[in-house]
């Protein structure tokens, strides 16, 4: 049952085809997008989430689903951790008390309940990313997009963030993630979409992709990438 469909999706900037006629259906609970640098992974994610408008083609949602996104560099407002986590809820007009409760419980789930009153920007990169996850999690989105969420983090923080992502997926939130970390991809993905130069070359279940990639390009990629 696919919940997101891309139909001949294209994004052109000047002469450059950043995304070149991609048609695919996303049905898995945990989808990971892989590809070399410049393949268009981040762009594709943004097109799916609606942050970018395609030059041609369509992004189709058979059932309207609530979405959230976490970026490679966490964006923290100049206020407390709790206020940051509550920000999305404030936008939705949720009342003060309910907002506080939901934000605190989201913070607890990412293990930062004690940090509630701290200035968010004074936290480490890993801690900030966890706050970003708490913030989006508090909104309980049905789909969560993640753009290289651990690329800027040290290994320990990376693992912690990954654990949180898997927990979020475990609650039933659909995940679409890009990453350079093959080990991470192996641990998380149910399905892999492989991009190269703006084109989708392969879409397969994770087990298949990592053991026996269908395309030569994917095979090459897997061999060269640092696991």
Partner 1 sequence: MHEMTTSLALAGELLARGDSQLLAIVLLSLRVSLSATLLACLIGLPLGALLAVGRFPGRRTLIVLTNGLMGLPPVVVGLLVYLLLSRAGPFGQFGLLFTPAAMVIAQTILIVPIVAALARQVIEDAWREYREQLRSLGASRIRSARTLLWDGRFSLTTAGLAGFGRAVAEVGAVMIVGGNIDGVTRVMTTTIALETSKGDLPLALALGLILISVVLLINIAAFLLRQWAERRWG
Query: From the CB of 160, what's the least distance to partner 1, in Å?
Result: 21
Widest pairwise Cα distance in the chain: 56
Query: From the CB of 181, what's the least distance to partner 1, in Å?
Result: 22
Provide the token pair at 18.
């950043």
Q: Which is nearer to partner 1, 56 or 77 (CB)?
A: 77
Query: From the CB of 113, what's the least distance to partner 1, in Å?
Result: 21
Q: Which is nearer to partner 1, 23 or 124 (CB)?
A: 124
Q: Which is nearer to partner 1, 71 or 210 (CB)?
A: 71
Query: From the CB of 51, what's the least distance to partner 1, in Å?
Result: 6
Q: Which is nearer to partner 1, 75 or 220 (CB)?
A: 75
Which long-range contacts (C-beta less than 8 Å, at least 24 apart) are formed by 117-121? 117/80, 117/81, 117/82, 118/80, 118/81, 119/78, 119/79, 119/80, 119/81, 120/76, 120/77, 120/78, 120/79, 120/80, 120/81, 120/83, 120/84, 121/76, 121/78
Which residues contact partner 1 (rule: CB under 8 A)? 46, 49, 51, 67-69, 71, 75-79, 87-88, 91-92, 119-122, 132, 135-136, 139
């Amino acid at each position: 049952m696919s919940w997101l469909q891309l139909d001949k999706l294209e994004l052109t900037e000047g002469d450059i085809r950043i995304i070149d006629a991609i048609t695919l259906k996303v049905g898995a609970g945990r989808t990971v997008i892989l590809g070399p640098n410049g393949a268009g992974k981040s762009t594709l994610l943004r097109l799916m989430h609606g942050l970018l408008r395609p030059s041609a083609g369509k992004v189709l949602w058979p059932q309207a689903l609530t979405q959230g996104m976490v970026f490679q560099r966490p964006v923290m407002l100049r206020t407390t951790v709790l206020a940051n986590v509550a920000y999305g809820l404030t936008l939705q007009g949720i009342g003060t008390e309910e907002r506080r409760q939901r934000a605190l419980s989201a913070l607890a789930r990412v293990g930062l309940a004690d940090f509630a009153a701290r200035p968010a920007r004074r936290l480490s990169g890993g801690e900030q990313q966890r706050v970003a996850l708490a913030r989006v999690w508090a909104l309980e989105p049905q789909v969560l997009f993640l753009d290289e969420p651990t690329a800027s983090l040290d290994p320990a923080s990376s693992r912690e963030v990954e654990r949180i992502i898997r927990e979020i997926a475990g609650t039933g939130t659909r995940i679409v993630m890009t990453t350079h970390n093959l080990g991470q991809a192996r641990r998380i993905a149910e399905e892999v979409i492989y991009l190269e130069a703006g084109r989708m070359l392969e879409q397969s279940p994770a087990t298949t992709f990592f053991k026996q990639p269908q395309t030569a390009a994917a095979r090459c990629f897997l061999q060269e990438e640092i696991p």
